[in-house]
Structure 1
């Protein structure tokens, strides 16, 4: 019993440090007897969740070990994270294989890069969309492995067909550029739209550009305006450049649409897209499983 208590404390310290650094828990939390704020309630909830996960780790729960491995990696204890994740990955858990692939990809030596590719391929072959998309990224950019645009597109398609919005946009981009396949502009629009309808600001921007220039479809300033408006609306805080480009192009598209007597219809279409495809707003949490 003493061993388990000590183990929990040793596990808990780096995890809670990560949560504090990530901003999930604010500083200056009042003593327990005076807890009344929402922030303090969040702290209590996080502590309970961490404690529950660590207890599950001790009992051998696979999902808990993955989460614990993720926390260790986020706090910089990559060797411990590797020790925790490897046994789970070796048993065929595709999520642990994906996490291990990402972990090893951060190591700057040939041996670990090869290991990263091996684990990522095992996860991708097992059907995890995030792994399929990541492998597609690596093969597109030649990150630690030889670039292979055709193979990259194949992995993107697998993830895209499972509904992964990032992979859907990447598939559209590959088809638009003719990267790894014959150029297919109309096919690119299909995948861009699937991603945009899931809230991808980049895909919405790509659609706006396509309708603005007439790439894969007849040029239509009103439709371009609507997609640019959605791109601006769905841009994340870290997508400032994308948001500014969407704003600029939105203005140009509306001016042209209005000059052609389609201003009101364009605004109505933009509102329809925003009402149906706006990205849900939520506060990110360090407790989120990166494999989902």
Structure 2
């Protein structure tokens, strides 16, 4: 019996058309990113070295530090905040921890926490992402105290151990809320970016001398200092994720994090350059824009296919 080849030909034809459309979308996304970020790149060239030096840190190293100098940081009570206070931290790209934000501010996050599909790997980073989310009172709180709008939201969960030290793609400022569990977070002042060796990731630039297990932290010894935070349920960490190197390590199994990325144009030229001229980044952002599925990521695969 002779099989009719037409169904297979039609399937191949449709697959080719869909692949072509996806490539076209990737190209449009890359052009869009370049149009937005290339002017910022021209504006920020050399910005890292023109930022004033930090105060002397010789007395700020804490006992038991891994290397370099662990800088002290400010912990603010939400009840004591004023808009002027937080905006000064943002202007300096200085991270700050906020405690006891009223719990009702986070009620809207429940609708952005879908059930994890059966069969999802338990040892991977799971990501749910939403563009221009409606956050109600939280959006108003952020706008009042920080003066910025939420561009997109991501929910991170899963049984992974940690990730590479990196600077995120796309200009934004991170309102990082821990809903469950505990995390250790290393943040490096942007003044020291030029002292480290970076690789090109699909959604970041990353420190090549680092790894995801937390056992290769010697690179911290090559910089004058850094901040180390332990974030627990209910805490908010506010920092410049698109200018400062940051590294996350899980201290408990399967923590749940909501990161609200705020509109902010002050980014590192390192990540702006990567956004403008890295095709894998355009493909990644296209996949996000046209998918509503939970992303599954191997955190060690920072250069390759995201999921």
Same fold (TM over 0.5): no
TM-score (norm 2): 0.24
The structure with the greater share of residues assigned to helix is 1
Larger Rg, first or second structure (1 or 2): 1
Structure number with the bigger relative contact order (C-alpha 8 A, sep ≥ 6) is: 2
State the TM-score, normalizing by the size of structure 1.
Answer: 0.25
